Structure 1
Amino acid sequence: MEPPWSALLALVLLAAPAWAEDPSPEEHWSDFWAVRFIINLAGYATILLPGYLLVKYFKRTNYLERGRGFCFPVISVCVFGHEVKTGLPEEHSPGVRTEPAESSPTKQTLRLLACALGLQVSYLTWGVLQERVMTRTYGKTDTDPGVKFRDSQFLVFMNRILAVTVAAVCCAMTKQPRHGAPMYKYSFASLSNILSSWCQYEALKFISFPTQVLAKASKVIPVMLMGKLVSHKSYEYWEYLTAVLISFGVSVFLLSSGQDHRTSSITTFSGVVILAGYILFDSFTSNWQDALFTYKMSPLQMMFGVNLFSCLFTVGSLLEQGALFQSMAFMARHPEFGLHAALLSVCSACGQLFIFYTIRHFGAAAFTIIMTLRQALAILLSCLLYGHAITLLGALGMATVFLALFLRVYARTRVRAKKRPVQGEPAVQKV
Structure 2
Amino acid sequence: MEPGRRKILLVLMLCVSVSATEDSTLDRDWSEFWILRFFINLAGYSTIILPGYLLVQYFKHSNYLETGRGLCFPLIKTCVFGSDLKSGVQDEPSPTSRTEATETSFTRQTFKLLACVLGLQASYLTWGVLQERVMTRAYGRTETDPGVKFQDSQFLVFMNRILAVTVAGLCCALTKQPRHGAPMYKYSFASISNILSSWCQYEALKFISFPTQVLAKASKVIPVMLMGKIVSHKSYEYWEYLTAILISVGVSMFLLSNTQNKHPPTVTTFSGVVILAGYILFDSFTSNWQDALFKYKMSSIQMMFGVNLFSCLFTIGSLLEQGAFFQSLLFMIQHPEFAVHAGLLSICSACGQLFIFYTISQFGAAVFTIIMTLRQAFAILLSCFIYGHSVTVVGAFGLVTVFFSLFLRVYARSRMKSKKRIAQGQAPVQKV
TM-score by length of 1: 0.90
Whether the 8 Å contact between 2:92 and 2:300 is mirrored in structure 1 is no
Q: Which residue is equivalent to 2:119?
A: 118
Which has the higher mean CA deviation after the structures are superposed, 49-58 or 254-263? Answer: 254-263
Q: Distance between the aligned counterparts of 2:428 and 2:164, measured in 1?
A: 31
In 2 relative to 1, CA 217–266 (structure 1 residues): closer, same or farther, beyond 3 Å? farther
In 2 relative to 1, CA 104–272 (structure 1 residues): closer, same or farther, beyond 3 Å? same
Offset at residue 30 of structure 1 (A) = 2.2
Whether the 8 Å contact between 2:92 and 2:298 is mirrored in structure 1 is no
Q: Which residue is equivalent to 2:210?
A: 209
Paired residues, number:
406
Q: Which residue is equivalent to 1:148?
A: 149
Offset at residue 99 of structure 1 (A) = 3.9
Deviation string for 1:170-220 (max 9, x for gaps)?
111110000000000000000000000000000000000000000000000
Q: Which residue is equivalent to 2:343?
A: 342
Q: Distance between the aligned counterparts of 1:298 and 1:390, measured in 2?
A: 42
In 2 relative to 1, CA 281–89 (structure 1 residues): closer, same or farther, beyond 3 Å? closer
In 2 relative to 1, CA 317–308 (structure 1 residues): closer, same or farther, beyond 3 Å? same
Structure 2 unaligned regions, length at least 5: 1-23
> What aligned pairs does 1:244-323 form with structure 2 within 5 A after superposition?
244-261=245-262, 268-323=269-324
Q: Which residue is equivalent to 1:227?
A: 228
Whether the 8 Å contact between 1:92 and 1:298 is mirrored in structure 2 is yes
Q: Which residue is equivalent to 2:242?
A: 241
Q: Which residue is equivalent to 1:411?
A: 412
Q: Which residue is equivalent to 2:375?
A: 374
Larger Rg: 2
Offset at residue 349 of structure 1 (A) = 0.2
Q: Which residue is equivalent to 2:195?
A: 194
Deviation string for 1:262-319 (max 9, x for gaps)?
6568961100000000000000000000000000000000000000000000000000
In 2 relative to 1, CA 102–411 (structure 1 residues): closer, same or farther, beyond 3 Å? closer
Q: Which residue is equivalent to 2:62?
A: 61
SS at match of 2:160: helix
Offset at residue 62 of structure 1 (A) = 1.2
Q: Distance between the aligned counterparts of 1:232 and 1:49, measured in 2?
A: 28
Whether the 8 Å contact between 1:207 and 1:266 is mirrored in structure 2 is no
Q: Which residue is equivalent to 2:14?
A: none
Whether the 8 Å contact between 2:123 and 2:351 is mirrored in structure 1 is yes
Structure 1 unaligned regions, length at least 5: 1-22
SS at match of 2:421: coil
SS at match of 2:142: coil
Q: Distance between the aligned counterparts of 1:345 and 1:425, measured in 2?
A: 42
Whether the 8 Å contact between 1:99 and 1:362 is mirrored in structure 2 is no
Amino acid at match of 2:345: L
TM-score by length of 2: 0.90
Deviation string for 1:63-113 (max 9, x for gaps)?
1111000100000000000124233355559xx734435421111011101
Whether the 8 Å contact between 2:90 and 2:294 is mirrored in structure 1 is no
Amino acid at match of 1:70: L
Q: Which residue is equivalent to 1:355?
A: 356
In 2 relative to 1, CA 98–199 (structure 1 residues): closer, same or farther, beyond 3 Å? farther
In 2 relative to 1, CA 144–77 (structure 1 residues): closer, same or farther, beyond 3 Å? same
Whether the 8 Å contact between 2:85 and 2:180 is mirrored in structure 1 is no
Q: Which structure has more helix as a fraction of its residues? A: 2
Q: Which residue is equivalent to 2:177?
A: 176
Offset at residue 362 of structure 1 (A) = 0.3
Q: Distance between the aligned counterparts of 2:414 and 2:278, measured in 1?
A: 31
Q: Distance between the aligned counterparts of 1:264 and 1:400, measured in 2?
A: 27
